[in-house]
Structure 1
Amino acid sequence: MSVLAQITSLQSGELQNKLRQLLPGIAVSALVAITAQFLAEHYATPAMLLALLLGIAVSFLGEEGKTVPGIAFSARSLLRLGVALLGVRVSMVLMMGLGWDLIALVVGGVIATIAFGLTVARFFGHKWRFAFLTAGSVAICGASAAMAISAILPRDERSEERLIFTVMGVTVLSTVAMIAYPILVNLLELNSIQAGVFLGGTIHDVAQVVGAGFSISEQTGDTATLVKLMRVAMLAPIVLAASLMIRSFAELPSDGKRPPILPGFVIAFLVLAGVNSFGLIPPAVTEFLSHASRWLLLTAIAAVGMKTNLKQVLAVGGAAIALIIVETLFIAGLILAGIELLT
């Protein structure tokens, strides 16, 4: 047997062994995700929240046994792949149709909310990591943003707790907003475009934005979805800027390794967003990759739940809940004020 054949055989054997190690945990994470989606479709509850709670309910699977490596892989690698594939949902060409004033309002709202969160967090007893995690998830795209931001933050013993708490918090608040904000829109007598900008610019998760927007009218739903995807598009530049700042100013994590300057999943997000903006991805492929992204993120959050100790998460405390609520109210007030000034 040639040297090349021996190397190929060895690599193939290592890959098979690796797959055998990971498969049980990935399969369990996927099963929890499928269960969460089934329950979500039948009981009108956010699938992300259900996947998280179901994962926590079987957290013993992430502590010992054959499923541990695959669960860890799902919580980290599948998460990053899911975030990367979100890029296919972004089209800069469509977003330009909103006009520069509304684009500036949405972009400014994202940046201002993150700055606000970083500023007020100390009054709630929290440091910059939790502040950036919560404010970024509120400002950009809820649970997906929380998972992407968590991936670039220096890790410590409380990283998983902060992520789980943030995902739970923004998902619950997003659901509340999906119900309450359309009522507020009617009370304020906003027109279809104004309502779409408000809903898309303030509700955390994409699914809840779609639900709230189309509950009012088709035009409101279309506008809200477009505005929301503009916030999703902010994920890559915010993560990139944060990565650079963390490398420059933050203390080294316990393992002595700094996060990469530009994480691979952010590069993939940007490439897919750029290609999709030029219309180079067929609609059927875009739809497939969008669904794949959602399932990957659902599987990842189920895995994160299985790696979590619920008692430690709840110990984060009431001040953390108050911080997320204040950040949510801030972006809602800011976007509403901007709509009144610009339209």
Structure 2
Amino acid sequence: MTTLAAILPIQSARTLFPGVLISVTIGLAAKFLSDHYDAPVMLLALLLGMAFNFLTEDDGRCVAGIEFASKSLLRFGVALLGLGITLQQIAATGMEVLTITLTGVALTIALGLILSRGLGRKTRFGLLTGGAVAICGASAALAISSVLPKNENLERDTVFTVIAVTALSTVAMIAYPIVANFLGMSEIATGVFLGATIHDVAQVVGAGYSVSDLTGETATFVKLLRVALLVPIVITLSFIFASDQNDRSRTKLPIPLFVLGFAALVVVGSHQLVPEAAKELLLSLSRWCLVTAIAALGMKTSLKKLGDVGGSAIVLVCALTVLLAAFALGALQLTSL
């Protein structure tokens, strides 16, 4: 309790407690079912969480804590995963994976711009959806939205994009491992495919570790390569739209600190600066944070809201998702992974 009080004000802790508690409880239930029925704990946490979606449909007592668990605990857990990846592993990844990742991101953003105009949408909507699909889903949508010029539809479009990429990530988390298995892909190739195509970090982790630890580690690393690209892309967009910014507060760049934390812990782990026992403890804490976060994410997933913005917007996000997956599968067929 002393530690919690040091991190959060007492009143904030009381506000967050109900939502965090239900997220942890669902995570524990998922772990129990996983241990007894040999099912993927991440997938169980997601599905159990979706059954409690009603807890996020109004401003009830659990909403703030669920939001905290789905964002802050997720980022904290992902940052800690840096201890499980070394610079030696990164060096051994090779140019093939790096090329697939970078090309997939650039291609998806470019297609977002082209298809949005073809579907009668503005270029900025294409940037928003293309960036969200290409990089890291909801986090990218929020970051890119914060540097786009304000208009009457920006908030609505951002909310739609967050809902759409979260829902499609949920579908991809379940479907993509099945596709990879059907195609007979190796564990490493499956990890690259999952990490290079699924939108949100939590679902990448869930999909990867539902296959194997090696696939999970590979998928997480490839995904975080994509996440790291958010920094230069947001900086570039902030300069492009600088002349349209009337709100001086928008000059503050939304650089995700958990990416910096992940990178720092990769360096720390690579130089063996953390005792092995402490490292295992922190990696275990990371997994629990991620299970809790994905349970909270499940509670926030609402498929019925996807139609609010219009059919062309849904077609755009779905098309970008399918095209990114098709590109990754095609590229992987040309590699030795």
| Structure 2 partner of 1:59 | 56
Q: Who is 1:4 aligned against? A: none
Equivalenced residue count is: 305
**Within-5 A mapping of 1:194-205:** 195-203=186-194, 204=198, 205=204
Secondary structure of 2:9's counterpart equals: helix
Is residue 2:263 matched to residue 1:270? Answer: yes
CA 1:257 to 1:27, structure 2 compared with 1: closer, same or farther past 3 Å?
Answer: farther
Shift in Å at residue 169 of structure 1? 0.9
Q: Which residue of 2 aligns with 1:260?
A: 253
> 1:283 offset after TM fit, Å?
4.3
Could you tell me how far apart the structure 2 residues matched to 1:52 and 1:38 are? Answer: 15
> Match of 1:131?
130
Pair 1:93 & 2:118 matched: no
Whether contact under 8 Å (1:32, 1:55) holds in the other structure is: no
TM-score, scaled to structure 2: 0.71
Alignment map for 1:1-343 (pairs within 5 Å):
15-38=9-32, 42=37, 46-47=43-44, 49-50=46-47, 52-60=49-57, 62-64=58-60, 66-100=61-95, 102-122=96-116, 123=118, 125=121, 126-136=125-135, 145-150=136-141, 152-154=143-145, 156-157=155-156, 159-185=158-184, 195-203=186-194, 204=198, 205-212=204-211, 222=214, 224=215, 227-250=218-241, 257=250, 260=253, 262-303=255-296, 311-315=304-308, 319=312, 322-343=315-336
Residue 326 and residue 159 in structure 1: after superposition, are their counterparts in 2 closer, same or farther (change >3 A)? closer
Rg (Cα) greater in structure:
1
Q: Contact between 1:36 and 1:50, CA under 8 Å: does it hold in 2?
A: no
Identity across the alignment (%): 23
Unaligned runs of 5+ in 1: 1-10, 137-144, 215-220
Q: Kindly tell me: are residues 299 and 104 of structure 1, through their superposed partners in 2, closer, same or farther at Cα, counting changes over 3 Å?
A: closer
Letter in 1 for 2:113: T
Deviation at 1:334, TM superposition (A): 3.4
CA shift digits 1:280-304 (9 cap, x unpaired): 3344444433343343344345445
Deviation at 1:322, TM superposition (A): 4.5
Write the distance in 2 (CA, Å) between the matches of 1:183 and 1:310: 27
Structure 1 residues 342 and 157: alpha-carbon distance in aligned structure 2, compared to 1, 3 A threshold: closer
Conservation of the 8 A alpha-carbon contact between 2:100 and 2:331: no
After superposition, the CA RMSD in angstroms is: 3.8
SS of the residue 1:299 aligns to: helix
Structure 2 stretches of 5 or more lacking a match?
147-154, 199-203
Cα deviations by residue, 1:265-322 (Å, 9 ceiling, x for unpaired): 2221221122223333344444433343343344345445656765434535665555
Give the distance between the partners of 1:152 and 1:108, measured in 2 at CA. Answer: 19
Normalising to structure 1: TM-score of the pair?
0.70
Q: Secondary structure at the match of 1:63?
A: coil
